[in-house]
Amino acid sequence: MQSLVDICPRIAVISAGAFLALTSPSTIYAEKALPQTQIGDATYYASHFQGRKTASGRIFDKNKAMAAHRTYPFGTVVRVTNLRNKRSVNVVIVDRGPYGKNRREGAIIDVSPAVAARLGMLRTGQTRVKLEVLVWGNGERVTERPKIVASARR
């Protein structure tokens, strides 16, 4: 019997029971479900990333509603809500992150400075947020109200 990897060379086994389907060079979709809603901290990009290429290949623009998330597919539209002041902004995932110190301190998303300003987090640099997926990177819309399935430790 042939394995799934032999039949479809664009499938890779990443761990027991998890497959990655490589649909294009820049897009990876996991078979296991990603959480539709997350609660954790948000940080924002430093100014020196302006004009640089992101992991998705798009050029980063600090004046646009862009964000980095470690697992959501590129092109996913996410509503980011500041839990302290209830302001929200829709962003597009175009990069991977956060990493390093911000990730260790509970950050689940990096947003552009323009988004940080609209969320009211420029002075603090980090704030508690709720992420809600509106449209997945493959164009699939979320139809039901998402349940909270993951929360970063504080």
In this structure, the answer to whether residues 8 and 22 fall within a common structural domain is yes
pLDDT of residue 86: 97
10-residue block means of pLDDT along the chain (154 residues)?
Answer: 41 42 44 81 89 94 95 96 97 93 82 96 94 91 61 55
What's the confidence (pLDDT) of residue 135?
A: 94
Instruction: Answer yes or no: are the C-beta atoms of 73 and 32 closer than 8 Å.
Output: no
Same domain membership, residue 94 and residue 62: yes
Provide long-range contacts, Cβ within 8 A and 24+ apart, for 28-31. Answer: 28/73, 29/73, 29/137, 29/138, 30/71
pLDDT at 118: 97
Domain check: are 43 and 26 in the same one? Answer: no
Same domain for 100 and 121? yes
Amino acid symbol at 125:
G
8 and 75 in a common domain: no
- Under 8 Å between Cβ of 127 and 84: yes
Q: What pLDDT does 142 receive?
A: 81
3-state secondary structure (DSSP) of residue 7:
helix
- 8 Å CB contact between 80 and 67: yes
12 and 51 belong to one structural domain: no
Q: Which helix (H) or strand (E) holds 75?
A: none
Give me the pLDDT at residue 143, please: 72
Domain housing 65: 34-151
Report pLDDT for 13: 44
Please give the tally of structural domains in the chain.
2
H or E segment to which residue 103 belongs:
helix 100-104
